[in-house]
Amino acid sequence: MSLPHAILTALLEKPSSGLELTRRFDKSIGYFWSATHQQIYRELGKLETEGFIRTLPPAQPARGQKKSYEVLPAGRAELARWTAASQDPRPHRDTLLLRMRAAAVVGTEGIEADLRRHLDLHRRQLAEYEEIEKRDFPPGRESSQDRLRHLVLRAGIDLETFWTQWLTRALEEFAELPGHERA
Amino acid sequence: MSLPHAILTALLEKPSSGLELTRRFDKSIGYFWSATHQQIYRELGKLETEGFIRTLPPAQPARGQKKSYEVLPAGRAELARWTAASQDPRPHRDTLLLRMRAAAVVGTEGIEADLRRHLDLHRRQLAEYEEIEKRDFPPGRESSQDRLRHLVLRAGIDLETFWTQWLTRALEEFAELPGHERA
DNA sequence: GACCTTTGTGCAACTAGTTGCACAACCGGC
DNA sequence: GCCGGTTGTGCAACTAGTTGCACAAAGGTC
């Protein structure tokens, strides 16, 4: 139940059309809450009928025409309510850890290459985050908003750091496993 | 598409009934792939008709009667295939980070208490993992299976460590925010 | 032996997320 | 002046996961 709130947040940061939102979900917000454009359009429709957002230019043209949305007071109130409400952490699901556990039973044959690939992906993501940090959060004088957003980015950086370290360690362990042949 | 494989792994480690599986999912495997008993029963049914598992005692009694399953060769082969197959990391979704981002826009009112609660939950989980580590993986001579399983547990420990550190830091930042009143 | 709790299995309905596709408008080239 | 790519919106069908409930059997208890 978080996609509508992710959209409200994005729209409060800047009113946008469906496609612009999609692009922004591919970047910043999507780093911890991804969504496809189909999901976004569907949700925009719901949010509009619920009275949380409205189209920006009063004219509402036909299909294929750009349509920008802005958040209404009711939408902001709903987002504030949701943000403050207590929520239990949702269980994490991680396929790679599951495969690792399965590999302990059926053998590590073939998984190593994918571990390397993941390591590479996480390294890239980490580099991207660090680039954003350098660009958007230079040291010194940050506003309250910036501090909070920086905090969120730090979470991303630390998580990617964790994964690169863990994968590196896993590959080292593999090298020491009996029956290990490839370099 | 990972629940059936999680179940196959668990059954290979030890043949079990639906309820036993549910309990084990509340512990070890469920730490990175949770499932309710309803999901598990449904999936057991599918796995059986697909010929990947079978009931242990040839007698298959009625509803309310315990039914244990074991993995058939075809099931083991399927698990090995899945484990070795390359998979893209699925996008992570994290509500707390999303709320943090929303808080940057609509204000931090109310979120702090929940941050403390999450910190407490993650500390407990971390303690539990460390307990398991001490009990199940004493230093020195580990088999290949143990090494892999230990690696997975380490991931859990490191992730919980990350969260406790990040939440601690977040709460510190909150204390420095202008307009912050409560202790 | 009627009642209650625990253990165990399971269906049905719903919600969230994914995949595949369709289609309209605009913009450039040739 | 039509043809192909890009931008933009959207529906439909499917898959995965959650929630709520039902029901059978076994064991204790008074």
Q: Give yes or no for residue B28 having a pLDDT over 90.
A: no
Given an 8 Å threshold on Cβ–Cβ distance, is A102 in contact with B117? no
pLDDT confidence bin for B120, thresholds 50/70/90:
very high
Given an 8 Å threshold on Cβ–Cβ distance, is B94 in contact with A170? no
Establish if A143 touches chain B: CB-CB under 8 angstroms: no
What pLDDT is recorded for position A139? 86
User: Quick count: other Cβ atoms within 10 Å of Cβ B165?
Assistant: 13
User: Quick count: other Cβ atoms within 10 Å of Cβ A74?
Assistant: 12
DSSP assignment string, A26-68: HTGGGGTS---HHHHHHHHHHHHHTTSEEESSS----TTS--E
- Minimal C-alpha gap between A29 and chain B (Å): 8
Given an 8 Å threshold on Cβ–Cβ distance, is A98 in contact with B155? no
Window from A71-80, B70-79, B170-179 with minimum mean pLDDT: B170-179
Q: Give yes or no for residue B115 having a pLDDT over 80.
A: yes
Backbone angles phi, psi at B140, to 5 degrees: 90, 175
Proximity of residue B40 CB to strand C below 7 A: no
Closest CA to A29 of A12, A10, A47: A10
Establish if B87 touches chain A: CB-CB under 8 angstroms: yes
pLDDT confidence bin for B65, thresholds 50/70/90:
low
Q: For the residues A81-110, what does the mean pLDDT come to?
A: 92
- A3-84 folds as Arc Repressor Mutant, subunit A (1.10.10)
Q: For the residues B18-41, what does the mean pLDDT come to?
A: 90
Nucleotide closest to residue A38 (CA–C1'): D10
What pLDDT is recorded for position B42? 93
Given an 8 Å threshold on Cβ–Cβ distance, is A104 in contact with B148? yes
Query: What's the pLDDT tens digit per position in A101-121?
Result: 999 999 998 899 999 999 999
Q: For the residues B61-89, what does the mean pLDDT come to?
A: 85
CA atom of A150 to C1′ atom of D13, Å? 40
Given an 8 Å threshold on Cβ–Cβ distance, is A30 in contact with B91? yes
**How far, in Å, CA of A139 to CA of A153, rounded?**
14
Q: Give yes or no for residue A60 having a pLDDT over 50.
A: no
R_g (Cα) of chain B, nearest Å: 21
- Minimal C-alpha gap between B106 and chain A (Å): 6
Candidates A12, A84, A89; nearest CB to B96:
A89
Give the domain ranges of chain A.
3-84, 95-176
Candidates B111, B144, B177; nearest CB to A178:
B144
The answer to whether the CB of B67 falls within 8 A of the CB of B27 is no
Closest residue to C20 measured CA to C1′: A38
**How far, in Å, CA of B158 to CA of B148, rounded?**
15
Nucleotide closest to residue A66 (CA–C1'): D8
Given an 8 Å threshold on Cβ–Cβ distance, is B166 in contact with A154? yes
Q: Give yes or no for residue B59 having a pLDDT over 50.
A: no
Q: For the residues A55-61, what does the mean pLDDT come to?
A: 59
Nearest CA in chain B to A10: B102
Show which positions of strand D are touched by protein (CB under 7 A). Answer: 7-12, 15-21, 23-25
Nearest CA in chain A to B81: A110
Q: Give yes or no for residue A64 having a pLDDT over 60.
A: no
